Amino acid sequence: MNLNELKHAKLKKWVEEAVSLMTPDSVEVCDGSQAEYNRMLQITVDGGIGIKLNPEKRPGCFWFHSDPSDVARAESRTFIASKKKEDAGPTNNWTDPAELKETMKAQYKGCMKGRTMYVIPFSMGPVGSNIAKIGVEITDSPYVVFNMHIMTRVGSKVLDVLGSDGFFVPCLHSIAKPLGPGEKDTGWPCEPDVNKKFISHFPDTYEIWSYGSGYGGNALLGKKCLALRIASVLARDEGWLAEHMLILKITNPQGKVKYIAGALPSACGKTNLAMLIPTLPGWKVETIGDDIAWMKFGEDGHLYAINPEAGFFGVAPGTSDSSNKSAMDSIKKNTIFTNTGLTEDGDIWWEQIGHGAPGETITNWKGEKVPSPKTDKSPAGQEIAHPNARFTVPASQCPVIASEWEDPKGVPISAFLFGGRRPSTIPLVNESKDWVHGVFMGSITGSEITAAALDLKAGTIRRDPFAMLPFCGYHMGDYFGHWLKLGKKAKDEGKGDKLPKIFFVNWFRKNADGKFMWPGYGENSRVLAWMFNRCDGADNFIETPIGHLPKPGSIEPPADVSAETMAELIKVHVDGWKAEIADVRENHYPKFGDRLPKELYSQLDIMENGLKAL
Ligand code: GTP
Ligand code: SPV
Ligand code: MN
Nearest CA to ligand 1 atom 28: 520
**Element housing 162 (H / E):** helix 156-162
pLDDT in tens, 343-398: 999 999 999 999 999 999 999 999 999 999 999 999 988 999 999 999 999 999 99
Which of 152, 210, 266 best tests ligand 2's pocket when mutated (most atoms within 8 Å of CB)?
A: 266
Q: Which residues pair with 606 in a beta bridge?
A: none
Mean pLDDT calculated for residue range 123-132: 95
Average pLDDT, the chain: 97
**Residue 96: per-residue pLDDT:** 98
Query: How many Å apart are CA 315 and CA 73, to the nearest integer?
Result: 13
Cβ atoms of 37 and 31 within 8 Å: the answer is: no
Ligand 1 centre from 84 Cα, in Å? 36
Other CB atoms within 10 A of residue 16 CB? 13
Mean pLDDT calculated for residue range 256-282: 97
Cβ atoms of 329 and 354 within 8 Å: the answer is: no
Provide the percentage of residues in the chain whose pLDDT is more than 70.
Answer: 100
Which of 272, 352, 525 best tests ligand 1's pocket when mutated (most atoms within 8 Å of CB)?
A: 272
Q: Using a 6 Å cutoff on CB, does residue 550 contact ligand 2?
A: no
**Residue 4: per-residue pLDDT:** 87
Mean pLDDT calculated for residue range 539-556: 97
Q: What share of the chain is helix, strand, coil (3-state, %, to 5)?
A: 30, 25, 45
Nearest CA to ligand 1 atom 23: 269
Ligand with minimal distance to 243 CA: 3
Query: How many Å apart are CA 527 and CA 404, to the nearest integer?
Result: 24
Topology of the domain comprising 243-307+405-612: Phosphoenolpyruvate Carboxykinase; domain 3 (3.90.228)
Which ligand 2 atom sits nearest the alpha carbon of residue 244?
3
Which ligand 2 atom sits nearest the alpha carbon of residue 72?
9
Which ligand 2 atom sits nearest the alpha carbon of residue 266?
3
Cβ atoms of 31 and 1 within 8 Å: the answer is: yes
Sign of the dihedral through C-alpha 249, 251, 256, 262:
negative
Distances (CA, A) of 46 to 60, 398, 531, 549, 595: 16, 30, 51, 57, 53
**Residue 454: per-residue pLDDT:** 81
- Based on its alpha-carbon atoms, the radius of gyration of the chain, rounded to whole angstroms, reads 24
Sign of the dihedral through C-alpha 519, 246, 456, 324:
positive
Which ligand 2 atom sits nearest the alpha carbon of residue 223?
8
Q: Which residues pair with 248 in a beta bridge?
A: 260, 287
Residue whose C-alpha is closest to residue 121's, from 71, 68, 159: 159
Q: Using a 6 Å cutoff on CB, does residue 211 contact ligand 1?
A: no
At residue 59, the 3 state secondary structure works out as: coil
Burial class (CB in 10 A: 0-12, 13-18, 19+), 180: exposed
Which of 73, 151, 392 best tests ligand 2's pocket when mutated (most atoms within 8 Å of CB)?
A: 73
Other CB atoms within 10 A of residue 159 CB? 24
Mean pLDDT calculated for residue range 97-116: 98
Topology of the domain comprising 3-30+73-238: Phosphoenolpyruvate Carboxykinase; domain 1 (3.40.449)
Plot region of 410 (φ>0 → left; ψ -120 to 50 → alpha; else → beta): left
pLDDT in tens, 299-344: 999 999 999 999 999 999 999 999 999 999 999 999 999 999 999 9
Query: How many Å apart are CA 43 and CA 83, to the nearest integer?
Result: 40
**Residue 455: per-residue pLDDT:** 72
Give the DSSP letter string of 218-258. HH-TIIIIIIIIIHHHHHHHHT-EEESEEEEEEE-TT--EE
Asked if the model's pLDDT at residue 459 lies above 80, the reply is: no
Query: How many Å apart are CA 353 and CA 274, to the nearest integer?
Result: 19
Burial class (CB in 10 A: 0-12, 13-18, 19+), 413: buried
Q: Using a 6 Å cutoff on CB, does residue 270 contact ligand 2?
A: no
pLDDT band at residue 461 under the 50/70/90 scheme:
confident
**Element housing 416 (H / E):** strand 411-419
**Residue of 30, 61, 190, 268 marked active site:** 268
Ligand 1 centre from 268 Cα, in Å? 4
Q: Using a 6 Å cutoff on CB, does residue 318 contact ligand 1?
A: yes
Ligand 1 centre from 271 Cα, in Å? 7
Query: How many Å apart are CA 431 and CA 531, to the nearest integer?
Result: 8
**Residue 452: per-residue pLDDT:** 81
Q: Using a 6 Å cutoff on CB, does residue 313 contact ligand 2?
A: yes
Ligand with minimal distance to 221 CA: 2
pTM for this prediction: 0.98
CATH classification of 312-397 is 2.170.8.10, yes or no?
yes
Q: Using a 6 Å cutoff on CB, does residue 222 contact ligand 2?
A: no
CA angle 499, 285, 231 (to 5 degrees): 50
Ligand 3 centre from 135 Cα, in Å? 19
Cβ atoms of 51 and 62 within 8 Å: the answer is: yes
Nearest CA to ligand 2 atom 1: 266
Could you give phi then psi for residue 137, rounded to 5 degrees? -105, 130
How far separated are the first and last CA of the chain, in Å rounded?
69
Ligand 2 centre from 472 Cα, in Å? 14
Ligand 2 centre from 224 Cα, in Å? 7
Ligand with minimal distance to 319 CA: 1
Ligand 1 centre from 265 Cα, in Å? 9
**Residue 542: per-residue pLDDT:** 98
Nearest CA to ligand 1 atom 4: 266
Question: Is 111 an annotated catalytic residue?
Answer: no
Q: Using a 6 Å cutoff on CB, does residue 223 contact ligand 2?
A: yes
pLDDT in tens, 414-446: 999 999 999 999 999 999 999 999 999 999 999
pLDDT band at residue 1 under the 50/70/90 scheme:
confident
Domain edges within the chain? 3-30+73-238, 243-307+405-612, 312-397
Ligand 3 centre from 244 Cα, in Å? 6
Q: How many residues are listed for the chain in this entry? A: 614
Fold matches, 3-30+73-238 and 243-307+405-612: no
CA angle 63, 65, 68 (to 5 degrees): 165
pLDDT band at residue 456 under the 50/70/90 scheme:
confident
436, 441, 444, 446 alpha-carbon torsion, rounded to 10° = -160
Q: Using a 6 Å cutoff on CB, does residue 463 contact ligand 2?
A: no
**What's the maximum distance between 2 C-alpha atoms anywhere in the chain?**
76
Give the DSSP letter string of 157-180. HHHHHHTTT---EEEEEE------
Q: Using a 6 Å cutoff on CB, does residue 452 contact ligand 2?
A: yes
Query: How many Å apart are CA 316 and CA 153, to the nearest integer?
Result: 23
pLDDT in tens, 161-176: 999 999 999 999 999 9
Mean pLDDT calculated for residue range 291-301: 97
Residue whose C-alpha is closest to residue 415's, from 400, 402, 432: 432
